Amino acid sequence: MRGGLWQLGQSITRRLAQGDKKAVARRYFASDAELKKTVVYDFHVANGGKMVPFAGWSMPIQYKDSIMDSTLNCRENGSLFDVSHMCGLSLKGKDSVPFLEKLVIADVAGLAPGTGSLTVFTNEKGGAIDDSVITKVKDDHIYLVVNAGCRDKDLAHIEEHMKAFKAKGGDVSWHIHDERSLLALQGPLAAPVLQHLTKADLSKMYFGGFQVLDINGVQCFLTRTGYTGEDGFEISIPSESAVDLAKAILEKSEGKIRLTGLGARDSLRLEAGLCLYGNDLEQHITPIEAGLTWAIGKRRRAEGGFLGADVILKQLEEGPKIRRVGFFSSGPPPRSHSEIQDEGGNNIGEVTSGGFSPCLKKNIAIGYVKSGLHKAGTKVKIIIRGKFNEGVVTKMPFVPTKYYKPS
């Protein structure tokens, strides 16, 4: 999926509009036998979902509305995403926190029970194996979600280190939540609509918070988080109840919250300046270079103790050689791998994600440039299909975030 879900969605929309359904099937759709399906698959198809291969799953890229309209509706009302292709797992045992701290940059010990944070799994060179939202449920129970495309390597990595940790007497075990599905409810109507389906007072649950509670009569794991820059929730629910919950949310919203696909999800996260693993974050990119220094806890900066800590702490002290930045640009929307040059014609980096912002009505992009050329206002040239386009480095997020935090 490198190159952008946004561009993929636009290409599918154009071909479908031209009536070229056979070409779409040949180009984008693998045979059903090759792809896994979430329990919400039939519900997607019944509601007009255009299904495409993504990380080994058949997932909706969009529905009957355009990606532009879906993006705007999420910001104005709300969106419901099926993200059940992602992998939820629990670590349990009295040593689950020290175990996880060997693998991630977060100060897991410093999290209060019922709170969480974005973190990064690092390798020995300080590069990112994956990014993940982790939650300390209790001192002996960590819940985390990893990316679908990284599932196999992440689980192998965790298992390898867990075996070594347990061999030395460590008390930790894990459970992969394949019996559960994951729905993401995002946008200004997310909280008021979900409040209709639970007795818990959601106004007391802030961004990053976690609770186990009944929603629509079923016990769920609820995290106040998301991937859009809007307020919202990720709801882990037993798979047999996922479609009923999706129907209930859409019904309670009176049509204002819409089913939304991966195309709009990509444009929403891009507007929010969030990394997409495989594009903006990879094995050779460190959290410092990616602008995720804030995710490294103060204690972890002092103590280290995670894979690649020597590289990362040195970058903290001396500064990285490259930095992730945002851009506005003219011409066609930048694509992944578009070359970035300074005004003198020297190569200074490349675009990792780009597209047209439905909210700002202009091109936006994320990429990496040499340190010293990363400051907002720096003028650049972005090369797209051999042509030079004017660009300027800008601060992120492009669209202000609206996370629900204590006032």
Binding residues for substrate: 234
Give the C-alpha separation, 258 to 65, whole Å. Answer: 10
Residue carrying structure tokens 């020297």: 346
Give the C-alpha separation, 334 to 365, whole Å. Answer: 6
- Residue whose C-alpha is closest to residue 404's, from 259, 117, 161, 206: 206
Give the C-alpha separation, 97 to 113, whole Å. Answer: 12
Q: What are the φ/ψ torsions at residue 356 (nearest 5 degrees)?
A: -95, 130
Annotated binding-site members: 234
Residue carrying structure tokens 């994600």: 353
Give the C-alpha separation, 398 to 156, whole Å. Answer: 36
Give the C-alpha separation, 343 to 303, whole Å. Answer: 42
**Cα-trace Rg, the chain:** 21
- Residue whose C-alpha is closest to residue 135's, from 234, 282, 5: 234
Distances (CA, A) of 42 to 39, 63, 104: 7, 13, 37
CB 249 within 8 A of CB 197: yes
User: Within 13 Å and on the Cβ side, how many CA atoms surround 26?
Assistant: 5
